[in-house]
């Protein structure tokens, strides 16, 4: 009997997620003497990835708030092998010097990698995979621009205007067109929206209804999940019951056989057809109907994948926040949140992150709270709401660091902005095992800078993606 | 007025080192004069063809190709001619030129040049009865019209017959709503506008108070100093154009020198065409023969026109697909019965003659401008391609 | 925990008639910087600026923690004018004056101040007008600096009307030449050099034609909307016209930014526009930052935001620099003015403190 839920483990840990085995290997390799002979854990050898890099910097920002002075980072096979302040360059390693080394920037809200049709698709559903809509060919230039600005990975989401957009994906801005290599996580989140419309301004009722719909869909996912849990329990007890009955019948075999023969003879005598005795245990429990969309929403309801809801205004934000309260394991993320300040307390208390797009346009809709524009990120952070910064579902990933600086200029703490672009984005959207910090075992997606990140004077000299130098000064290429 | 711009363009061009001399070795040179040279070396210097001589031993940096013809000329390419290319507020505007509408930055020019077309006649869109003066220009060169424009001995005024000019107009019953509340709304109205325009222009010579903008251009057309290109797809429109010419002659107004553009149904009545002496420009061949204005283009009949002496040019008429490109059109014309020389003439020498530029372009001869088309095989064959193009000695498509 | 935002400022209490501002760095507006200097302001004008000013006793000196710059100038704006910024009734609106649509009390005008903008060219928005009207130079404080400053001429696609003359490029220039052959009113002022031109041209081809036209009639002023004018930088430079850049938005086509850099390198006078299709005052500094990222020199970007823009708008003798005799329009920033992460701390228009950044104040909740 096929159990669709059996696939979940496979979906949960796609091949791109960092495996424990690799982490372990990483730990061993640092201690191993033969550093110059790196081995690929998969047994595959890739010429490009085999270069050993040794980064030396005045400051290595391991993660926000933790800085190592005069430190080094050893990169092998695309991974960070070691971080410390007493490392020496292994023989043959390419040494890169810089003022500061930090993790590459992440854009948690971008459209880089998909075309407009994928973004504008209003017929997507929870099981739609953005990964299927990625076009690595048409977007090479956009990715080049993004990585030159230090943005190493973006989360893209199909069906921005659909009620439920489906699985969003993290993709790398690395060069190349091999989707398998670019795709970092194919189920980063499930996307949804409340209150948006392809054209015109929907009425407040429609906006609230769309928020309710998101909540109903989560509920349906939860119910679906429960139906499966119930089914599995019933299946277990059915198996037990039927085994018991069989055992009992086995025991009373002779008696039962005699009884049956008697009954058959009786039926013949009466000229009737003999009916086999049925047992109530014969009937197996009913398997729920498999539904890929509900299945995806079940994962959302269980907190396995986060739910990113683009939602801007008070009415739908209120409906969404109220409607999602019963789902204790749900990991809700608000994208946009133009008027989210109204609910800062609840967002802070429930630790609901808001992905802010620092937009230059700031025209409040008639009859609505004056949205605070560029100051939104700073004000939310002040209220202790976890803030992320994104390029707003556009191809502006290149401008994300500059947008972050604008957010800083409008009140966001620089440290907060840096966290938003690195470790927090990675943690909230499930790529912390790969990206976001300069720690052993992470993917070597790193920046070498002339000064502290997100400072206007600072420029990026080198960008590493997957341990390869993808941006370097001309004389250093 | 263009001088400072020209200067800047020249200064900018001076900075780059553009190779301006080329040697081309071709297995065949179809000169366009009826001669085919085998194994010829063509040298190009300062935008002109310096020499053509037999020779096999080309230097290493020579461009090696199978065949060379003159660059092709399209008299009706309609490169990105949008509604801003024609002033639609009035029907008759001989005084306006299409020049301001020519966006030389548009990549369509580059694509056109790379397809082997080196000179075109740009005309305003066919939304007016008389749309204005055309501009003949090269498809490649500096992004400055003055540097690319041909000065024609007899400029070409352009207008339309048929349904296109009346398209969008509506009768102004009651209050007019916009500038389209006007005549003409039918073919008959279009014809009326034509006759009225010429009549008024002639009238104004007698009564100067009736002079109007564009009258001078119309009188020059009557005097034969300006050629008149009329778009006419269907038989009735071709007739109307020719009757107009004949009426003007009958009235003693003058003699219009006609080029009929998009003359899809010219094959139907060759006799009146011959009588008028009009040249024709054909639109691209369509698969089912149907073209605009419900005209039917019987391609196998066009050969008769050429054989009877009608000057015939081929055009892409703004169609973008590769099949509509001029080299493919020449190939299709050959399939329809034209000889190679006739097909070559229809895209090179005949249009050059209509433009009055036979001393400069249209053939491969020493002293002519180096507008050349380099081919991977025999020109116009389905298996041959344009692999290289020179425009005034500049290599705009490299065969290497 | 409860935190509130309160307005606080030394000068918000009582605008001083005469005062001095002392700052570690003063950007004068032409690209030069004075370290550890003082600006002396009296009656709304800058009296003096220097490193060792001899100030009379009793003049209050305000210590500024940050960097001072001239107020920013937007080369095209229609904040608050909404649909009033463009009149479609006629193609040529040569005598329509935009100052009559200026409402200093509109919230969009306050936004200008919040973004450090102290003067704007209040200009017609592009619609289907060949000539949109006469732009004024105004201050968000309500003062109209120059009522008839620049004439808006639109030779882009939007200026070609639908359903009325002129619908074509040829018609646009035919009509312009007709108007310029017997100039009267604002057009006469234009050809006599008493008024500048705000020439709207978008594509490179349109720019080419517009430059030709401007040179033919010896016009001064600047191009707007010309996003790729940098490809024609030499020709723009030769024409003597300037260019109002932007407003650029996040994700802007890199060719537009490269164009801006090319113009700066060619020495074309530059400024920034606030208004593309809607007023975006915050785009002013963003556009400058994006240009700097793309390779423009910081000093050039700051000049384009201040003194350079003032020259293009024809008001360099009034505003745009920190120089004795000019209006005391000043911005105080937490860092360099071109640094997008600098905060705007205070804005002065005509010596009056019109904006003071909200100051964070943490108030402990009473525990009762």
Q: Is C208 on the interface with B (CB under 8 A)?
A: yes
Cβ contacts of B212 on chain C, cutoff 8 Å: none
A411/C293 Cβ within 8 A: no
* Partner residue facing B132 (CB), from C170, C204, C238: C170
Q: Is B104 on the interface with C (CB under 8 A)?
A: yes
Tokens of C115: 């973004």
What would the pLDDT profile of C325-337 be if each residue is shown by its tens digit? 999 999 999 999 9
Which of C341, C344, C362 to probe the A interface (max A CBs under 10 A)? C341
Which residue in chain C has the smallest CA separation from B102?
C205
Decide yes or no: CATH 3.40.710.10 for domain B72-361.
Answer: no
Q: Is A1 on the interface with C (CB under 8 A)?
A: no
Task: Tell which residue, A289, A167, A169, has the closest CA to residue A220.
Answer: A289
Which residue in chain C has the smallest CA separation from B86?
C168
Chain C residues 27-86 with a CB less than 8 Å from chain B: none
Q: Is B88 on the interface with C (CB under 8 A)?
A: yes
Q: Is the pLDDT of residue A11 over 80?
A: no
Backbone CA torsion sign across C108, C109, C114, C118:
positive
Considering chain A, what percentage of its residues have pLDDT values greater than 70?
Answer: 87
Q: What is the dihedral of CA A466, A470, A473, A476, to 10 degrees?
A: 70
Q: Is B105 on the interface with C (CB under 8 A)?
A: yes
For A444, residues 6+ apart whose C-beta sits below 8 A from its C-beta are A53, A73, A75, A78, A79, A80, A464, A465, A466, A467
Tokens of A401: 């660091």
Q: How far is B105 from chain C (nearest CA, A)?
A: 6
Give me the pLDDT at residue C16, please.
53
Tokens of A91: 């023989």
Tokens of C348: 């002065």
* Partner residue facing B101 (CB), from C168, C212, C216: C168
Alpha carbon distance C211, C217 (integer Å):
10
Q: Is A452 on the interface with C (CB under 8 A)?
A: no
Give me the pLDDT at residue A452, please.
95
For range B217-236, the mean pLDDT: 96
Cβ contacts of B7 on chain C, cutoff 8 Å: 238
Model confidence band, residue A395 (pLDDT cutoffs 50, 70, 90): confident
With 0-12 / 13-18 / 19 or more C-beta atoms within 10 angstroms meaning exposed / middle / buried, residue A169 is: buried
Q: What is the dihedral of CA C153, C158, C159, C160, to 10 degrees?
A: 160
Give me the pLDDT at residue C140, please.
96
A402/C290 Cβ within 8 A: yes
Chain B residues 136-175 with a CB less than 8 Å from chain C: 143-144
Which residue in chain A has the smallest CA separation from C80?
A363
Count of CA atoms in the C-beta half-sphere (13 A) of B206? 5
* Partner residue facing C165 (CB), from B83, B103, B179: B179
A445 pairs with which residues across the strands? none
Decide yes or no: CATH 2.40.160.20 for domain B19-71+363-400.
Answer: no
CA distances (Å), A159 to each of A21, A193, A300, in order? 36, 9, 17
What is the phi/psi pair of residue B173, to 5°? Answer: -70, 130
Q: Interface partners of A (3+ CB pairs, < 8 Å)?
A: C
Burial code (b: 16+ CB inside 10 Å, e: under 16) for A25-36 equals bbeebbeeeebe
Cβ neighbours of B212 (radius 10 Å): 15
**CA-based end-to-end distance of chain C:** 14
Alpha carbon distance A437, A239 (integer Å):
49
For C329, residues 6+ apart whose C-beta sits below 8 A from its C-beta are C70, C71, C118, C119, C139, C319, C348, C349, C350
- More confident position, C161 or C199: C199
Q: How far is A122 from chain C (nearest CA, A)?
A: 24
Whose tokens are 């010097």? That residue is A97
What would the pLDDT profile of C10-20 be if each residue is shown by its tens digit? 444 444 589 99
Backbone CA torsion sign across B335, B339, B345, B350:
negative
Peptide bond into B60 cis (omega under 30): no
CB C193 within 8 A of CB C183: no
Give me the pLDDT at residue C242, please.
97
Rounded to a whole number of angstroms, the CA Rg of chain C reads 21
C251/A402 Cβ within 8 A: no
Q: Is the pLDDT of residue A328 over 50?
A: yes
Average pLDDT, chain C: 90
Model confidence band, residue A371 (pLDDT cutoffs 50, 70, 90): low
Decide yes or no: CATH 2.30.40.10 for domain A14-104+441-477.
Answer: yes
CATH topology of domain A106-221+294-435: TIM Barrel (3.20.20)
SS3 content of chain B, % helix, strand, coil (to 5): 35, 25, 45
Q: How far is B85 from chain C (nearest CA, A)?
A: 6
Considering chain B, what percentage of its residues have pLDDT values greater than 70?
Answer: 95
Q: Is the pLDDT of residue B7 over 60?
A: no
Give me the pLDDT at residue C332, please.
97
Cβ contacts of A348 on chain C, cutoff 8 Å: none
Burial code (b: 16+ CB inside 10 Å, e: under 16) for A59-71 equals bbbbbbeeebeeb
Q: Is the pLDDT of residue B87 over 50?
A: yes
For range B122-144, the mean pLDDT: 94
CA distances (Å), B286 to each of B139, B162, B264, B319, in order? 25, 19, 10, 11
**CA-based end-to-end distance of chain B:** 40
Q: Is the pLDDT of residue A23 over 70?
A: no
Cβ contacts of A456 on chain C, cutoff 8 Å: 289, 292, 335-336, 338-341
Whose tokens are 């900075």? That residue is B15
Cβ contacts of C360 on chain A, cutoff 8 Å: 382
C174/B179 Cβ within 8 A: no
Mode of pairing for the β-strands spanning B21-30 and A66-76: unpaired
Residue by residue, DSSP assigns C89-138 as S-SB-TT-BGGGG--TTSHHHHHHHHTTEEEEEE-PPPSS-SEEEEEEEE
Alpha carbon distance B260, B240 (integer Å):
11
Q: How far is C126 from chain B (nearest CA, A)?
A: 17
* 3-state secondary structure (DSSP) of residue C355: strand
Give me the pLDDT at residue A364, please.
52
Cβ contacts of C289 on chain A, cutoff 8 Å: 402, 405-406, 456
- Cα angle B100-B77-B43, degrees, rounded to a multiple of 5: 95
Cβ neighbours of A267 (radius 10 Å): 13
Model confidence band, residue A50 (pLDDT cutoffs 50, 70, 90): low
Q: Is A399 on the interface with C (CB under 8 A)?
A: yes
Q: Is the pLDDT of residue B2 over 70?
A: no
Where in chain B do CATH 2.30.40.10 domains reside? 19-71+363-400
What would the pLDDT profile of A235-290 be if each residue is shown by its tens digit? 999 999 999 988 888 888 888 888 888 888 888 888 888 888 777 778 889 999 99
For range C6-12, the mean pLDDT: 40
What would the pLDDT profile of A361-370 be if each residue is shown by its tens digit? 665 554 455 5
Q: What is the dihedral of CA A327, A331, A334, A335, to 10 degrees?
A: -140
B84/C212 Cβ within 8 A: no
For range B152-174, the mean pLDDT: 90
B97/C170 Cβ within 8 A: yes
* Partner residue facing B103 (CB), from C173, C205, C211: C205
For range C222-250, the mean pLDDT: 95
Alpha carbon distance C149, C153 (integer Å):
13
Q: Is C212 on the interface with B (CB under 8 A)?
A: yes
B8/C235 Cβ within 8 A: yes
Q: How far is A407 from chain C (nearest CA, A)?
A: 7
Residue by residue, DSSP assigns B224-252 as TSSEEEEE--SHHHHHHHHHHHHHHHHTT
What would the pLDDT profile of B326-358 be if each residue is shown by its tens digit? 999 999 999 989 999 999 999 999 999 999 999
Q: How far is B395 from chain C (nearest CA, A)?
A: 22
Cβ contacts of C285 on chain A, cutoff 8 Å: 406
Give me the pLDDT at residue B84, please.
86
Q: Is the pLDDT of residue C114 over 70?
A: yes
Average pLDDT, chain B: 90
Give me the pLDDT at residue A368, please.
52
CA distances (Å), B17 to each of B11, B13, B147, in order? 12, 8, 19
* Partner residue facing C289 (CB), from A391, A402, A410: A402
Q: Which domains can be identified in chain C, with CATH numbers?
A: 2-70+322-362 (2.30.40.10), 72-312 (3.20.20.140)
Where in chain A do CATH 2.30.40.10 domains reside? 14-104+441-477
Q: What is the largest CA-CA distance in chain C?
A: 82
Provide the number of CB pairs (under 8 Å) joining chain A to chain C: 74
Task: Tell which residue, B299, B318, B320, has the closest CA to residue B164.
Answer: B318
Q: Is A460 on the interface with C (CB under 8 A)?
A: no
CA distances (Å), A410 to each of A359, A360, B7, C349, C359, in order? 12, 11, 48, 21, 12
Task: Tell which residue, B146, B96, B166, has the closest CA to residue C169.
Answer: B96
* Partner residue facing C282 (CB), from A360, A383, A457: A360
Give me the pLDDT at residue A30, please.
37
What would the pLDDT profile of A173-228 be if each residue is shown by its tens digit? 999 889 999 999 999 999 999 998 877 778 889 999 999 999 999 999 999 999 99
Whose tokens are 């003699």? That residue is B255
Q: How far is B218 from chain C (nearest CA, A)?
A: 18
Where in chain A do CATH 3.20.20.140 domains reside? 106-221+294-435
Give me the pLDDT at residue A370, please.
54
CB B76 within 8 A of CB B261: yes
Give me the pLDDT at residue A21, please.
37
Cβ contacts of B11 on chain C, cutoff 8 Å: 234
Chains A and C touch (3+ CB pairs under 8 A): yes
C283/A360 Cβ within 8 A: yes
What is the phi/psi pair of residue B200, to 5°? Answer: -60, -40
- More confident position, C114 or A36: C114
Chains A and B touch (3+ CB pairs under 8 A): no
Q: Is the pLDDT of residue C267 over 90?
A: yes
Q: Is A442 on the interface with C (CB under 8 A)?
A: no
Q: Is the pLDDT of residue B10 over 50?
A: no
Residue by residue, DSSP assigns A460-476 as EEEEEETTEEEE--GGG
For C168, residues 6+ apart whose C-beta sits below 8 A from its C-beta are B83, B84, B85, B86, B87, B88, B96, B100, B101, B124, C160
With 0-12 / 13-18 / 19 or more C-beta atoms within 10 angstroms meaning exposed / middle / buried, residue A306 is: buried
Tokens of A120: 């504008």
Chain A residues 115-154 with a CB less than 8 Å from chain C: 145
- A182's enclosing H/E stretch is helix A179-182
What would the pLDDT profile of B282-315 be if each residue is shown by its tens digit? 999 888 889 988 899 988 888 899 999 999 999 9
Cβ contacts of C344 on chain A, cutoff 8 Å: 409
User: What ipTM was estimated for this complex?
Assistant: 0.86
Tokens of C257: 């930014």
Cβ contacts of B90 on chain C, cutoff 8 Å: 165
C338/A456 Cβ within 8 A: yes
For range C98-126, the mean pLDDT: 93
Model confidence band, residue B56 (pLDDT cutoffs 50, 70, 90): confident
Give me the pLDDT at residue A375, please.
87
Which residue in chain C has the smallest CA separation from A361?
C280
Q: Is the pLDDT of residue B144 over 70?
A: yes
Peptide bond into A205 cis (omega under 30): no
Task: Tell which residue, C173, C222, C217, has the closest CA to residue C197.
Answer: C222
Q: Is the pLDDT of residue B240 over 60?
A: yes
For range B213-235, the mean pLDDT: 96
Residue C43 region, left (φ>0) first, then alpha (ψ -120 to 50), else beta?
left
Which residue in chain C has the smallest CA separation from B142?
C232
């Amino acid at each position: 009997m096929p159990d669709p839920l059996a696939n979940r483990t496979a979906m949960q840990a796609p091949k791109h997620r960092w495996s424990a085995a690799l982490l372990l290997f990483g730990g061993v390799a640092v201690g191993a003497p033969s550093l110059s002979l790196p081995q690929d854990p998969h047994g595959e050898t890739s010429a490009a990835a085999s270069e050993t890099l040794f980064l030396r910097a005045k400051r290595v920002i391991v993660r926000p708030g933790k800085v190592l002075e005069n430190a080094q980072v050893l990169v092998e096979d695309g991974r960070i092998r070691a971080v410390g302040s007493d490392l020496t360059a292994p023989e043959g390693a390419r040494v890169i010097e810089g003022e500061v080394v930090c993790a590459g920037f992440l854009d948690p809200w971008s459209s880089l990698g998909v075309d407009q049709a994928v973004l504008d698709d209003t017929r997507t559903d929870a099981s739609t995979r953005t990964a299927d809509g990625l076009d690595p060919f048409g977007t090479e230039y956009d990715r080049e621009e993004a990585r030159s600005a230090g943005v190493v990975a973006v989360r893209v989401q199909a069906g921005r205007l659909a009620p439920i957009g489906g699985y969003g994906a993290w993709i790398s801005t690395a060069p190349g067109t091999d989707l398998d290599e670019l795709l970092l996580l194919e189920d980063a989140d499930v996307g949804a929206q409340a209150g948006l419309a392809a054209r015109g301004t929907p009425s407040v009722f429609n906006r609230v209804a769309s928020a309710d719909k998101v909540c109903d869909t989560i509920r349906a996912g939860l119910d679906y999940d429960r139906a499966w849990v119930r089914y599995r329990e019933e299946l277990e007890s059915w198996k037990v019951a039927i085994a018991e009955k069989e055992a009992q019948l086995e025991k009373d075999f002779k008696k039962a056989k005699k009884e049956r023969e008697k009954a058959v003879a009786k039926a013949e005598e009466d000229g009737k057809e003999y009916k086999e005795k049925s047992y109530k245990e014969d009937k197996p429990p009913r398997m729920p109907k498999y539904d890929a969309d509900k299945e995806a929403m079940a994962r959302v309801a269980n907190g396995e994948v986060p739910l990113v809801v683009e939602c801007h205004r008070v009415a739908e934000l209120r409906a969404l926040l109220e409607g999602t309260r019963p789902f204790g394991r749900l990991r809700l993320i608000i994208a946009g949140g133009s008027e989210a300040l109204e609910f800062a307390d609840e967002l802070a208390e429930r630790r609901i992150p808001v992905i802010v797009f620092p937009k230059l346009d700031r025209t409040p809709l008639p009859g609505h709270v004056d949205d605070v524009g560029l100051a939104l990120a700073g004000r939310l952070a002040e209220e202790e709401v976890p803030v992320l910064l994104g390029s707003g579902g556009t191809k502006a990933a290149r401008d994300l660091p500059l947008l972050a600086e604008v957010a800083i200029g409008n009140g966001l703490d620089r440290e907060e902005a840096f966290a938003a672009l690195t470790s927090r984005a990675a943690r909230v959207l499930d790529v912390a095992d790969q990206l976001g910090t300069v720690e052993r075992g992470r993917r070597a997606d790193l920046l070498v800078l002339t000064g502290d990140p997100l400072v206007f004077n600072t420029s990026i000299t080198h960008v590493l993606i997957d341990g390869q130098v993808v941006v370097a000064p001309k004389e250093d290429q | 007025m263009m001088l400072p711009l020209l200067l800047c363009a020249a200064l900018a061009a001076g900075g780059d080192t553009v190779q301006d001399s080329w040697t081309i070795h071709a297995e065949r040179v179809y000169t366009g004069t009826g001669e085919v040279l085998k194994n010829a070396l063509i040298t190009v210097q300062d935008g002109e063809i310096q020499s053509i001589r037999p020779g096999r031993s080309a230097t290493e940096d020579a461009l090696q190709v199978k065949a060379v013809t003159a660059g092709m000329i399209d008299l009706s390419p309609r490169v990105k001619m949008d509604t801003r290319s024609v002033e639609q507020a009035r029907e008759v505007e001989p005084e306006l030129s299409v020049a301001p509408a020519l966006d030389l930055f548009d990549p369509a020019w580059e694509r056109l040049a790379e397809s082997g077309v080196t000179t075109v006649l740009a005309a305003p869109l066919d939304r007016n009865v008389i749309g204005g003066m055309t501009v003949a220009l090269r498809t490649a060169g500096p992004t400055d019209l003055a540097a690319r424009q041909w000065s024609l001995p007899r400029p070409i005024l352009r207008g339309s017959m048929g349904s296109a000019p009346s398209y969008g107009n509506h009768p102004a019953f009651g209050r007019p709503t916009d500038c389209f509340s006007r005549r003409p709304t039918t073919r008959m109205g279009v014809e009326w506008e034509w006759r009225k325009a010429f009549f008024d222009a002639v009238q104004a010579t007698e009564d100067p108070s009736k002079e109007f903008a564009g009258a001078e251009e119309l009188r020059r057309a009557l005097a034969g100093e300006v050629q008149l290109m009329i778009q006419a797809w269907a038989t009735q429109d071709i007739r109307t154009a020719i009757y107009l010419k004949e009426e003007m002659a009958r009235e003693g107004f003058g003699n219009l020198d006609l080029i009929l553009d998009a003359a899809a149904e010219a094959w139907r009545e060759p006799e009146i065409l011959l009588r008028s002496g009009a040249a024709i420009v054909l639109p691209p061949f369509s698969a089912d023969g149907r073209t605009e204005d419900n005209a039917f283009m019987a391609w196998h009949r066009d050969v008769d026109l050429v054989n009877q002496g009608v000057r015939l040019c081929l055009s892409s008429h703004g169609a973008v697909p590769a099949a509509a490109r001029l080299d493919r059109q020449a190939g299709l014309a050959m399939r329809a019965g034209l000889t190679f020389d006739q097909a070559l003439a229809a895209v090179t020498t005949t249009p050059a003659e209509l433009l009055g530029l036979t001393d400069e372009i249209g053939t491969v001869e020493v002293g002519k401008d180096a507008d050349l088309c380099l081919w991977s095989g025999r020109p116009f064959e389905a298996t041959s391609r344009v692999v290289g193009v020179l425009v005034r000695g500049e290599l705009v498509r490299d065969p290497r | 925990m409860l935190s509130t935002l309160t307005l606080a400022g030394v000068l918000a209490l009582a605008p001083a008639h005469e005062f001095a501002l002392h700052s570690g760095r003063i950007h004068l507006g032409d690209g030069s910087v004075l370290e550890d200097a003082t600006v002396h302001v009296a009656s709304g004008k800058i009296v003096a600026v220097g490193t060792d000013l001899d100030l009379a006793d009793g003049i209050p000196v305000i210590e500024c923690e940050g960097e001072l710059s001239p107020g920013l100038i937007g080369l095209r704006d229609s904040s608050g004018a909404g649909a009033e910024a463009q009149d479609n009734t006629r193609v040529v609106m040569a005598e329509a004056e935009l100052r009559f649509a200026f409402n200093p009390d509109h919230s969009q005008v306050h936004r200008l101040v919040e973004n450090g903008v102290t003067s704007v060219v209040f200009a017609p928005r592009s619609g289907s007008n060949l000539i949109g009207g006469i732009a004024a130079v105004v201050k968000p404080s309500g003062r109209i600096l120059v009522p008839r400053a620049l004439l808006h001429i639109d030779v882009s696609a939007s200026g070609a009307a639908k359903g009325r003359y002129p619908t074509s490029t040829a018609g646009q220039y035919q009509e312009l030449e007709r108007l310029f052959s017997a100039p009267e009113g604002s057009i006469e002022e234009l050809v006599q050099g008493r008024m500048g031109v705000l020439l709207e041209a978008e594509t490179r081809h349109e720019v080419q034609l517009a430059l030709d036209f401007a040179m033919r009639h010896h016009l001064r002023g600047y191009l707007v909307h010309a996003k790729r004018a940098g490809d024609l930088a030499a020709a723009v430079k030769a024409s003597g016209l300037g260019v109002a850049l932007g407003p650029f938005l996040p994700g802007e086509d890199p060719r537009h930014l490269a164009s801006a850099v090319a113009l700066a390198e060619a020495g074309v006078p530059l400024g920034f526009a606030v208004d593309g299709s809607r007023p975006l005052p915050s785009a002013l500094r963003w556009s400058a930052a994006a240009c700097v990222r793309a390779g423009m020199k910081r000093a050039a970007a700051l000049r384009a935001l201040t003194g350079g823009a003032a020259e293009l708008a024809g008001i360099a003798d009034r505003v745009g620099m920190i120089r004795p005799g000019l209006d005391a329009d000043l911005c105080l920033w937490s860092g360099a003015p071109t640094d997008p992460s600098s905060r705007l701390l205070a804005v002065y228009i005509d010596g009056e403190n019109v904006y003071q950044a909200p100051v964070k104040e943490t108030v402990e909740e009473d525990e009762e």
